[in-house]
Structure formats: structure tokens, C-alpha cells
Amino acid sequence: MLRRSDLEATAPIEAQGSTFSFPDFPVPARVIPPFEWAVELLAAVLATPLPSDTTVTNFRYGARVTFPFRCESHSAFWREVIGKAGHVAAITTNYDILIERGLRHRRMKRVFGPGCYYGGIPKPQLLRGTQLPWAYQGNHIELEGEVPVYKLHGSLNWSRGRDGLELFQDLRPAFRRRGDAAIIPPVPEKEIPAWLQPVWNSAEEDLAGAADWIVCGYSLPSYDVAITDLLRRAAVAGNLKRILILDPHASDICRRYSPIAQNVQVMALEGLPEGIDTLHTLL
């Protein structure tokens, strides 16, 4: 994991490194690429569609908010949680759009889908884009569901524009203009930029009002100090009663969550889909 000090030291290392002639031009023997290149590569890899999302005419833009993500374990989880809870909010550190595709962009009548919207972002939330990457003008859909989705580290379908965030139906920001997706790079000293602060503030309010936290796939790594502080502040509100950890290594992860909230039950469940049956009995 790169620290800010590592990034600041990149230029001197490149300048002072040993060189060789090619053929008679000094070239640094050790060249550290700019960190932005790593972020661009990460975004492009994560944004590349799965085979089930690809289309004959447009490979890169196959993964779209309007296309449902067909995963039985994900669907079973959302059905269980939404069917039992009075209010549901999804808080994620992931950059992908799997949650949006699982909940759907609007409420569905014939199939499961309560619909979602981006928590902390002003409405109406109009997502631009068509299946043709060069023809995204004038074709919008609106996120108008009932479940807020808080993306704490940004999203691959967001891009920062002059008037705020631009929201897209697909993941084109990860590919265009050398990659301009609005995401926070994964570095330990992660500072919350001003454009993401409303998302964090709204997520904290929802966490503070919840009696149950259900954690799937987030191990609370020690370097993620900002999220640890967020959870600790939300737990202080006093409404939290239980933290349910769904993960194959839930027993180890529970030890990291226990210090966050005093007098709160932290329970280890199996991962998805095995843990859904236990979740059914607890909710």
C-alpha cells in the first residue's frame, strides 16, 4: 500500500536513480510510474464487463445500471433484508455498480426491485448515456427508487464536471479521457474531498439511526482510518444494537468491529449465500 510519503518521493527517486545509455541517452534504471496511472488501470479493470454483460456492438459499455445483475445469492440477500426491515440503506466502498443493478434503478412491479438512488447527491438524479458511447446526449434515465446507496469512495459511473457530478448509466468515465471516473484512490491517508463530503454525512446519519448493521465483504482494514472513525461516530448515537458480519472469516472480522461500539452484540454469520438462512431467523 502506497503512502503519501511514497508518492512524494517518486520524483527524487527517478531523478537520482542509476542510468544506462540507450544508445547514448541516459535513462533511469528505476522508473516509478505516476500513481494516477495505477488508479486509471484499476478503474479500467473493474469497469471491464463480465462475459454475461458484453454486447456484440459495444464491449466496454455492456455493464449498465439498467441491466439487472443476475446473481442468486445477491438477490436472496436483498429480498431477505428488504422484506424484513422498515428502512434499508446500502453503504459501500466499492466502485462498481452491482448494488444498483441488484436493486434496480426504479421500482419494478413484475419482478423484484425496490429501486435505488444515490444518497447524499441532489435530486433529480439523471443518468446519461446510450448503448453507443459517442451518442450519450439527450438520453437519460432517472434514479427514483426507495433505497439510498452511499458510495463512500466514489463510483465508476460518476465523473466530475463543472456543475458537479455527472452520472452515467454505464462505466464510460473509467475509459474516456484517459480515465476520469470520480473515485478516491486506495491510499491509507484517504482524505474526504469536498465533493464527496455530503455522501459521507448522509451515510453517517443513516448509520446512526439504525439498530442493525449488516456487513458483507468489508473486513475493516486497519489502514482505512476514515471509515473506522465514521462507524465509531455513528455508533455513539446509541441506536445500534447488533452488528451482523456475513463473511467466510467472520469470526476474525468480528474482533475488529467489537471495539467500535460498546455494549453492542457483534455476531459472526457465514458468508453468502450460506448465511442468509441464519439472517432470516435473526431479522
- What local confidence, expressed as pLDDT, does residue 2 receive? 41
In this predicted structure, the answer to whether residue 247 has a pLDDT above a threshold of 90 is yes
Q: Which phi and psi angles does 259 have, rounded to 5°?
A: -70, -15
Domain extent listing, the chain:
57-190, 210-283
**What is the 8-class DSSP label of residue 133?**
T
In this predicted structure, the answer to whether residue 191 has a pLDDT above a threshold of 80 is no
In this predicted structure, the answer to whether residue 10 has a pLDDT above a threshold of 70 is no
Query: Count of H helices and E strands in the chain?
Result: 9, 13
> Do the Cβ atoms of 42 and 153 come closer than 8 Å?
no
Tell me the Cα Rg of the chain: 21
Cell numbers for 41, please give them: 488501470
60 or 242, higher pLDDT: 242
Residue (of 40, 156, 19) closest to 95 by Cα position? 156
Residue with cell 503512502: 3
In this predicted structure, the answer to whether residue 161 has a pLDDT above a threshold of 90 is no
Q: What is the DSSP string of 53-102?
A: G--SS-STT--BTTS----HHHHHHHHHHHHH-SS--EEE---SSHHHHH
Mean pLDDT of the chain, nearest integer: 82
User: Count of residues for the chain?
Assistant: 283
- What local confidence, expressed as pLDDT, does residue 63 receive? 80
Q: Is 209 helix (H, G, I), strand (E, B) or coil?
A: helix
- What local confidence, expressed as pLDDT, does residue 238 receive? 85
> Which whole number is the average pLDDT over 155-183?
87
In this predicted structure, the answer to whether residue 118 has a pLDDT above a threshold of 60 is yes
Work out the number of other CB atoms within 10 angstroms of the CB of residue 112. 15
Given pLDDT bands bounded at 50, 70 and 90, which one contains residue 241? Answer: very high
Question: How many angstroms separate the CA atoms of 278 and 269, rounded?
Answer: 7
- What local confidence, expressed as pLDDT, does residue 190 receive? 60
H/E element holding 165?
strand 164-167
Residue with cell 486509471: 40
Highest mean pLDDT range out of 30-34, 73-77, 172-176, 179-183?
73-77
AA letter at 251: S
Question: By percentage, how much of the chain surpasses pLDDT 90?
Answer: 51
Given pLDDT bands bounded at 50, 70 and 90, which one contains residue 189? Answer: low
Strand boundaries in the chain, DSSP class E: 19-21, 26-28, 90-92, 116-118, 125-128, 140-143, 147-151, 154-161, 164-167, 181-183, 212-216, 242-246, 265-269
Given pLDDT bands bounded at 50, 70 and 90, which one contains residue 37? Answer: low
Q: Which phi and psi angles does 165 have, rounded to 5°?
A: -80, 140
> Which whole number is the average pLDDT over 231-256?
93
Question: How many angstroms separate the CA atoms of 86 and 209, rounded?
Answer: 12
Report the chain's terminal Cα–Cα distance, integer Å. Answer: 38
In this predicted structure, the answer to whether residue 13 has a pLDDT above a threshold of 50 is no
